[in-house]
Amino acid sequence: MNNTSDYELTPERIWSEFDGAPGGTSLESMCGELFSQQLFNWQEFALAHMNMKGAWLREITSGPHTLLVQFNQGRTVSATAALDADTIRRRPCFLCEYHLPAAQKAVLYRKSFLILVNPYPIFSPHYTVVHVNHEPQALEGQIVSLLALAHDLGPAFTVFYNGPRCGASAPDHHHFQVCPSGVLPIEKDWEEGGRATLLADRDGVSLGVLRLLGRNALFMEGSVPETLEAFLKRLLGAMEEVVGSGEEPMLNLFCTKKEGRWRLLIFPRRKHRPDAYYREGKDSVLVTPGAVEMGGLLITIREDDFLKMTPTLAEEIYREVSLPPEVIEEIANHMK
Ligand SMILES: [Zn+2]
């Protein structure tokens, strides 16, 4: 993380700064203070947060599988954003520091990222961790930052990443997001056991598959950041070999650090939006799967979609946007 800002950050923007110095305030406390400050001093955010807290939420179950559905109109812009290269080039980047609203403050994180409250939250709290520079969303060069962030935030938080072609609404500006640990159904699925198959255990890193409704994920666990970084890079390489797109393989990822071990969950993807998104009339379903949806929390922006979501429909959407189990197995075999 030696890539500091290319330009002067507005000093008033910085609410506090985390540099990792021993004995300093924890990142969790700094983020908590930022969150309270923003609730008191940024009216639009307070309103968006209140609306989200009052959003309808329901549980849908199918056998051992449980999913959550949230009706959150605040996510409309993000869920329906046009993400073609032309549109992205023409619009002002909403993650660049000089475009943020004046009331929005940040925790400057290790001189490389701004931790912000997400102005259209899904969780309480929900942070966006934005690189200080306008550079494309890409994982490979930021794995060290991802692991450091999960370490610094501690077990109460989970960091997640949406690939530029599968969920990120700013594919042109690198960012992670953060949610509280334990709020997503997959976390329980993983803890429960019986769905995970260990495929390899080498150099202190375990790699395996987690079987979920309509989709499989790869998990990776280890306690040495350098080894995990190397494994994750190898995984990206193996995905690229198998899928061969020439770009960053499509994926969503979760990362948390608990009891000295980093735990990563990777959802290999093949499609951004399901066909149902583009259908008209009663067959249309406006769901844009990103990490949150792959994690078992489906965000709907229309009441109709909220009410009609069933495990069968969710399973169909998952199957369509995920890499099939046999391809994921092939990727895992490339890793052995
Ligand atoms: Zn930007």
Q: How far is the CA of 130 from the centre of ligand 1 (A)?
A: 9
The per-residue DSSP string of 182-226 comes to T-SHHHHHHHH-SSEEEEEEETTEEEEEEEETTEEEEEEEES-HH
Interior angle at CA 99, CA 101 and CA 128, nearest 5: 75
**pLDDT the model gives residue 7:** 65
Q: How far is the CA of 278 from the centre of ligand 1 (A)?
A: 28
Q: How far is the CA of 92 from the centre of ligand 1 (A)?
A: 8
**Spacing of C-alpha 180 from chain mean position:** 12
What is the SS3 assignment for 108?
strand
Q: How far is the CA of 35 from the centre of ligand 1 (A)?
A: 22
Q: How far is the CA of 172 from the centre of ligand 1 (A)?
A: 7
Both ends of the chain: CA-CA distance in Å? 29
Q: CB of 3 within 8 A of CB of 133? A: yes
| Parallel, antiparallel or unpaired: strands 127-131 and 157-162 | unpaired
**pLDDT the model gives residue 2:** 44
**pLDDT the model gives residue 6:** 64
**pLDDT the model gives residue 5:** 60
Q: How far is the CA of 89 from the centre of ligand 1 (A)?
A: 10
The per-residue DSSP string of 119-168 comes to SS-SSSS-EEEEESS-----SGGGHHHHHHHHHHH-TTEEEEEE-TTTT-
Q: CB of 150 within 8 A of CB of 256? A: yes
Kindly list the structural domains of the chain, giving each domain's residue range(s) and its CATH number in brackets, ordered by start. 11-273+318-335 (3.30.428)
What is the SS3 assignment for 290?
coil
Q: How far is the CA of 4 from the centre of ligand 1 (A)?
A: 15
Q: How far is the CA of 17 from the centre of ligand 1 (A)?
A: 21
Q: How far is the CA of 96 from the centre of ligand 1 (A)?
A: 4
Q: In 161-195, which positions are buried (b, 16+ CB within 10 angstroms) versus exposed (e)?
A: bbbbbbbbbbbbbbbbbbbebebbbbbebbeeeeb
pLDDT in tens, the chain (336 residues): 445 566 689 999 999 999 999 999 999 999 999 999 999 999 999 999 999 999 999 999 998 899 999 998 888 777 777 778 788 788 889 999 999 999 999 999 999 999 999 999 999 999 999 999 999 999 999 999 999 999 999 999 999 999 998 988 889 999 999 999 999 999 998 888 789 999 999 999 999 999 999 999 999 999 999 999 999 999 999 999 999 878 899 999 999 999 999 999 999 999 988 888 888 888 888 888 999 999 999 999 899 999 999 999 999 999 999 999 999 999 998 887
Q: How far is the CA of 134 from the centre of ligand 1 (A)?
A: 4
Nearest Cα to 318, choosing from 158, 211, 238, 199? 211
**pLDDT the model gives residue 100:** 95
Q: How far is the CA of 12 from the centre of ligand 1 (A)?
A: 19
List of E strands, the chain: 14-18, 57-62, 65-71, 106-109, 113-117, 127-131, 157-162, 175-180, 196-202, 205-212, 215-222, 251-258, 261-268, 297-300
Contacts of 116 by beta carbon, 8 Å cutoff, 6+ apart: 100, 104, 105, 106, 127, 128, 129, 130
Q: How far is the CA of 114 from the centre of ligand 1 (A)?
A: 12
CB atoms within 10 A of CB 145: 21
**pLDDT the model gives residue 60:** 96
The rounded radius of gyration (Å) of the Cα atoms in the chain is 19
What is the SS3 assignment for 76?
helix
Q: How far is the CA of 97 from the centre of ligand 1 (A)?
A: 7
Q: How far is the CA of 133 from the centre of ligand 1 (A)?
A: 7
Q: How far is the CA of 171 from the centre of ligand 1 (A)?
A: 9
Q: d(Cα 139, Cα 122) in Å, to the nearest integer?
A: 23
**pLDDT the model gives residue 275:** 86
Contacts of 190 by beta carbon, 8 Å cutoff, 6+ apart: 196, 210, 219, 263, 265
